[in-house]
Amino acid sequence: PFSFSCKTPFSAGQRKAGVDKGPIHLVEAGLVDQLTEIGWKVKFDGHHQFEEVSAADDPQIGKLRNPRLVSRVTEAVAKAVGEHVQNGELPVTLGGDHSLAMGTISGTLSKYPDACVIWVDAHADINTPETTDSGNIHGMPVSFLLGLEGTKIPEFSWIKPLLTPDRLVYIGLRDIDDGEKKILKEHNIKAFSMHEVDKYGIGKVVELALDHVNAKRDRPIHLSFDVDAMDPTVAPSTGTPVRGGLTFREGHYICEAVQETGLLVAFDLVEVNPSLADAASVQATVAVGCSLVRAALGETLL
Ligand SMILES: N/C(=N\O)NCCC[NH3+]
Ligand SMILES: [Mn+2]
Ligand SMILES: [Mn+2]
């Protein structure tokens, strides 16, 4: 089986320097060898370099920050991921900020239009250009993928809104803007917040999540994992940490259970920012990131 590792050093979807350095820390922690050791043939084409878009050339579109740069990079990611899924490989995209998922999920949908998306995150990332406060596009990828009102802007015309609300489910939510809560309700989007994780336990939550988007377990799964879904004591070095997150085991259980379905076709691990904490905290966050990738790609405890 092939896994493909796209190391995607990208940070223009948010404002904190350093998240573009996430991928290199994950690779330098030995992730490629670790995946080889669990039986994958890893094609690692180095760290993606993207066309530069100067701030001067980046048009002012409402509050959006770096819209042209984010659009160009995510379009390039969509193409790269699309090629790899076409080749029967399993793209593992290491971010970089979560705006990358506009590219990775578009890539997956180009081959698997019926794929379902499991979005593991403290945040819903479903603001639109109209509801956003910050203009940071890493808080908006899901609204673009769904083609919500206000996301049909020429700069992002390459996005084919193939994702539908019934094929999206969240796990780990605990920091949702009012505008996002409204959107989630309006579109009946299923979300298992940390309240449900406490109430039902992670085993039941994953089962319910899969029942919702993949009742017959016959749909390909794209798992998009924002490392800030984990509790900040587990993964501290990330841009928008929120207390009360997933334990080390809960995060790994999600990856293990999705892997067990045999339906995983693409995996993202994003928002590791190695410039935000002391060396020990960075090392701990990178180690958890590598471990989550291994779990999603089949590493088992027994
Ligand atoms: N980590 C983030 N998304 O997952 N930050 C942006 C969202 C803040 N509302
Ligand atoms: Mn996110
Ligand atoms: Mn997040």
List the catalytic residue out of 84, 98, 222, 252.
98
Atom number of ligand 1 nearest to Cα 226: 4
Averaged confidence pLDDT in the chain:
96
pLDDT of residue 48: 79
Q: How far is the CA of 123 from the centre of ligand 2 (A)?
A: 6
Q: Whose CA is nearest to atom 8 of ligand 1?
A: 139
Q: Whose CA is nearest to atom 7 of ligand 1?
A: 139
Where are any strands of DSSP class E within the chain? 2-7, 41-47, 90-94, 116-120, 168-173, 190-193, 221-226, 264-270
pLDDT under 50: residue ranges of the chain: none
**Amino acid identity at 268:** D
Q: Is 228 a catalytic residue?
A: yes
pLDDT of residue 4: 62
Q: Is 121 a catalytic residue?
A: yes
pLDDT of residue 2: 61
Ligand nearest to the CA of 119: 2
Q: Is 25 a catalytic residue?
A: no
Q: How far is the CA of 178 from the centre of ligand 3 (A)?
A: 16
Q: Is 178 a catalytic residue?
A: no
CA distance 93 to 136: 20
pLDDT tens digits, one per residue of 235-249: 999 999 999 999 999
Burial class (CB in 10 A: 0-12, 13-18, 19+), 79: middle
Ligand 1 lining (C-beta closer than 6 Å): 98, 121, 123, 125, 136, 138-139, 177, 226, 228, 239-240, 271
Nearby residues of 213 by Cβ (< 8 Å), 6 or more positions away: 116, 117, 118, 166, 167, 168, 169, 190, 219
